[in-house]
Amino acid sequence: MTQNNHPNPDRRTFLTAATAATAAASLAVASSGVAAAQENTSKKFSMKFAPHPGMFKASAGKDVIDQINFCHEQGFTAFEYNGIKKETEQKQQKIGDTLKQNGMEMGVFVAYADFVRPTFANPNEKTTTEVLDQIKGSVDVAKRCGARFVTVVPGSIDQPAPGGDRYGGPRLAEGFQTGYVIDMLRKCAEILEPEKIVMVLEPLNWHANHGGAFLRDSDQAYAICRAVDSPSCKILFDIYHQQISEGNLIPNINRAWDEIGYFQAGDNPGRKEPGTGEIHYGNVFKAIADRSKKDGRDLIVGMEHKNSKGGKAGEQAVINAYRAVEP
């Protein structure tokens, strides 16, 4: 008889079989996990998140058309391009055509922005002509690329610079400045409303990025939009800026809801993708999605931030971050 050194040959056989079964099961789980991840990558996002040029250039290349196609493949259904007015007319048209072919929406581009002059709060003939010419020119751009929304930053507050009057006139009382801003926005709306284009006014924070901007808070933007009283004048609620300026995000979104036409996102501090800062984007996006479903509105959320990491891995991290917080 051959001697068996294992104290229990049946147990050894059982353990070997169990180990093999566990390894096979683990491999199957891993394989299904990869497949699920790949399936999830191509699945459309539940909200209209809109990347911007350069956000996925390591994965898609430098050409914005290739980047749009990549975004479509990853499940994004919108795309924003603040600087599209600098592109040729042919490129603007091609961007619009590519978005349409992919079933994607064009997000905002900047129709007019000034961060240092009171072009709305204390306008003169020259600055008024400048503003209105920019708005008129934006109509043609919007038609080429298929945009329904354009960003307007209504200049700075009117105040003398330290050591002298920077703008050549006395500082105006806040009420007068607000009145002039409303008047200017009505002139802009007269151009945009027949074209069914909406200018969205972006309140900007003073503390980290844009000290002295006229429009800073959501309640201020809400009151101005009410006063302009046009479907072509709404709020661009940038969640990053409003977290810094005022916080209280979900209640303020609900209060301003009827005048909000567009959202932008970015975490704070750092202005990177969700999950890199203090904002609980899962809750914020759920609140927006719930309100959208209730009211039958599906607003675009522009991804106006940088990537926290470089390269393809960093770009995948951005995609994963939005998958993690979509409702």
Separation of alpha carbons 183 and 180, rounded Å? 5
Q: What mean pLDDT do residues 97-105 have?
A: 98
End-to-end CA distance of the chain: 68
Q: What is the mean pLDDT of residues 147-176?
A: 79
pLDDT classification of 71: cutoffs 50, 70, 90: very high
For the chain, what are the domain ranges?
1-42, 44-325
Q: What percent of the chain has pLDDT over 90?
A: 83
Question: What mean pLDDT do residues 149-176 have?
Answer: 78
CATH architecture assignment, domain 44-325: Alpha-Beta Barrel (3.20)
Instruction: Burial-class residue 189 by CB neighbours within 10 Å (0-12, 13-18, 19+).
Output: buried
pLDDT reported for residue 167: 52
**Mean pLDDT, residues 168-173 taken together:** 70
263-304 tens-digit pLDDT: 999 999 999 999 999 999 999 999 999 999 999 999 999 999
Yes or no: say if 50 and 76 are a contact pair by the CB < 8 Å rule: yes
pLDDT digits (tens, 9 = 90+) for 201-212: 999 999 999 999
Pairwise CA distance, residues 5 & 126, whole Å? 99
Distances (CA, A) of 94 to 75, 87, 90, 195: 20, 10, 6, 21
Q: In which band, very low, low, confident or very high, does the pLDDT at 189 lie, cut at 50, 70 and 90?
A: very high
Tens-digit pLDDT profile for residues 22-42: 444 433 433 333 333 344 556
- H helix and E strand count, the chain: 11, 9
Q: Assess whether pLDDT exceeds 50 at residue 72.
A: yes
Q: Read off the pTM.
A: 0.85
Q: Which of 169, 106, 115 minimizes the C-alpha distance to 141?
A: 106
Question: CA 169, 174, 176, 179: dihedral to nearest 10 degrees?
Answer: 130
